[in-house]
């Protein structure tokens, strides 16, 4: 079962009852002077993928400001030391080492691309230091290459695929094609979508697939190749500028006419804003309908974010904000101590997000933060999500036995 809007409203009450990050209290108006800050070493692909990472930075900045205005964490101010990894795994590993050794941070956090997240996770394992990944979506981060020192916030490639397969399985389409960026996130998403859809619909087949290089899609050639396969439906995993180019060429050449499209992340405002009136209608997508989500948790976040930054939040904003919330939950539960105590405290800790309460699973260090599933539409010349519902991350994960098989001991 998946929550409806009514379920979301009910769930918001539980979120307000949880230890909340972000409601300052007069008795905790400021952190104690002279207390040693808790330092988070944060990195992300700010110059490589600004459409997502700049709102993400706003999100974590807002959360940090609210935490410190409320008295900090157990009386200690929170401080973020931020760096740009430029989308490079090599740069990210170097920066992470500098943050640990030069800046003496207490933990690492952030990341966008899956290959960057995996590289930093491996460093964290070697150094036995905590890394809390925000955006990297590869399942390997918490399953095949998972370990004690890495946690991950966002719904993974498996989870995103599972959410979309729920709707894709209802389509009459039998002949499918896929297009995805040729790196870990793209190939993992296609793999899981194909496996999960085949389990529910043994009559479907994937007749073609395109794997363009990330950021370098030849959209015309890609669209022509997909069209030549005469599909009934398309799985799209492209994002950012690749998505815009793919949609533009697909619209021009009629690729989407009479065909169903299932598309990961496309319902996020980062990408719908860029598509604008070119947004294809009726795509099944994961995303974030922003102002249409009227739960108390999202409304409070929307109002605070808009007041602070003079613009509406995006999905990146939610990720940045929730990342700090999840880390603070572990820090509060640990009540001091080093890395090992903090890891023990994070496992099983609940925390609040704009989407409602979430938990860091002890089994695999994956959070239960979910996302929204709906369809694309154009409203007043802008791309929007309609007919949406929220899907909890807890409802999109495999059973514990499967997780144990996937994750090393």
- Sketch the domain layout of the chain as residue ranges: 5-155+293-369, 158-292+372-397
pLDDT number for residue 337: 81
Q: How far is CA 252 from CA 50, 181, 228, 242, 382, in A?
A: 27, 21, 15, 15, 19
Rounded CA gap, 186 and 208, in Å?
15
Distance CA 288, CA 385 (A): 7
User: What pLDDT, on the 0 to 100 scale, is given for residue 22?
Assistant: 37
pTM for the predicted model, two decimal places: 0.89
Q: CA-CA distances (angstroms) from residue 4 to 10, 105, 174, 202, 299?
A: 10, 41, 29, 29, 17
User: Under DSSP, is residue 236 helix (H, G, I), strand (E, B) or coil?
Assistant: strand
Could you tell me the end-to-end alpha-carbon distance of the chain, in angstroms, rounded to an integer?
A: 31
Residue 33, pLDDT score: 52
Domain 5-155+293-369 and domain 158-292+372-397, same fold? Reply is: yes
In the chain, what's the furthest Cα-to-Cα distance?
67
Give dist(CA 189, CA 263) in Å, integer: 11
pLDDT at 408: 79
**Hey, which CATH number is domain 158-292+372-397, 3.40.50.1820, 3.40.50.2300, 2.60.40.10, 3.30.365.10?**
3.40.50.2300
Tokens of 62: 């807002």
Smallest CA-to-CA distance from 403 within 364, 367, 373 is with 364
- Whose tokens are 């919330």? That residue is 325
* Residue 200 to residue 190: CA distance in whole angstroms: 16
Residues 236, 255 contacting (CB under 8 angstroms): no
What integer pLDDT is reported at residue 2 of this predicted model? Answer: 36
Instruction: Tell me which residue of 8, 391, 358 sits closest to 167, measured CA to CA.
Output: 391
Give the separation between CA 20 and CA 351, rounded to whole angstroms: 7
Q: Over the Cα atoms of the chain, what is R_g? A: 21
pLDDT at 336: 81
List phi, psi (to 5°) of 379: -130, 120
**Per this entry, what is the length of the chain?**
409
Structure tokens at 262: 């299932």
Task: Write out residues in the chain with pLDDT < 50, as ranges.
Answer: 1-31
What CATH number labels 5-155+293-369?
Answer: 3.40.50.2300
Q: Is 268 helix (H, G, I), strand (E, B) or coil?
A: coil
Closest CA to 403 of 158, 187, 196: 158
């Amino acid at each position: 079962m998946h929550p409806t809007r009514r379920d979301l409203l009910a769930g918001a009450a539980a979120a307000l009852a949880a230890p909340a990050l972000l409601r300052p209290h007069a008795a905790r108006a400021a952190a104690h002077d002279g207390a040693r800050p808790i330092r988070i070493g944060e990195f992300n692909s700010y110059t490589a993928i600004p459409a997502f990472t700049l709102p993400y930075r706003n999100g974590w900045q807002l959360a940090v400001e609210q935490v410190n205005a409320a008295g900090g964490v157990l009386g200690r101010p929170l401080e973020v030391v931020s760096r740009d990894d430029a989308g490079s795994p090599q740069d990210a590993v170097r920066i992470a080492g500098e943050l640990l050794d030069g800046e003496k941070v207490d933990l690492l956090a952030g990341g966008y691309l899956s290959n960057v997240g995996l590289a930093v996770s491996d460093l964290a394992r070697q150094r036995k230091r905590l890394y809390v990944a925000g955006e990297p979506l590869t399942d390997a981060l918490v399953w095949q290459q998972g370990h004690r020192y890495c946690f991950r916030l966002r719904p993974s490639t498996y989870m995103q695929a599972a959410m979309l397969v729920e709707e894709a399985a209802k389509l009459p389409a039998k002949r499918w094609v896929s297009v995805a960026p040729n790196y870990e996130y793209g190939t993992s998403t296609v793999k899981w979508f194909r496996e999960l859809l085949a389990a529910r619909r043994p009559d479907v087949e994937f007749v073609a697939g395109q794997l363009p290089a990330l950021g370098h899609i030849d959209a015309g050639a890609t669209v022509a190749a997909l069209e030549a396969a005469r599909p009934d439906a398309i799985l799209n995993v492209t994002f950012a500028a690749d998505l815009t180019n793919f949609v533009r060429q697909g619209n021009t050449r009629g690729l989407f006419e009479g065909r169903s499209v299932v598309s990961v992340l496309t319902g996020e405002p980062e990408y719908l804003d860029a598509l604008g009136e070119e947004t294809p209608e009726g795509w099944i997508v994961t995303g974030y309908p922003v102002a249409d989500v009227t739960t108390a948790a999202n409304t409070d976040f929307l109002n605070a974010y808009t007041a602070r930054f003079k613009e509406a939040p995006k999905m990146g904003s939610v990720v940045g904000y929730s990342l700090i919330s999840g880390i603070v939950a572990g820090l509060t539960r640990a009540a001091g101590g080093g890395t090992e105590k903090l890891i023990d405290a994070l496992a099983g800790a609940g925390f609040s997000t704009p989407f409602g309460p979430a938990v860091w699973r002890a089994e695999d260090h994956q959070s239960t933060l979910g996302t929204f599933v709906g369809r694309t539409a154009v409203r007043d010349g802008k791309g929007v999500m309609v007919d949406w519902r929220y899907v909890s991350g807890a409802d999109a994960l495999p059973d514990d036995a499967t997780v144990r098989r996937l994750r090393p001991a």
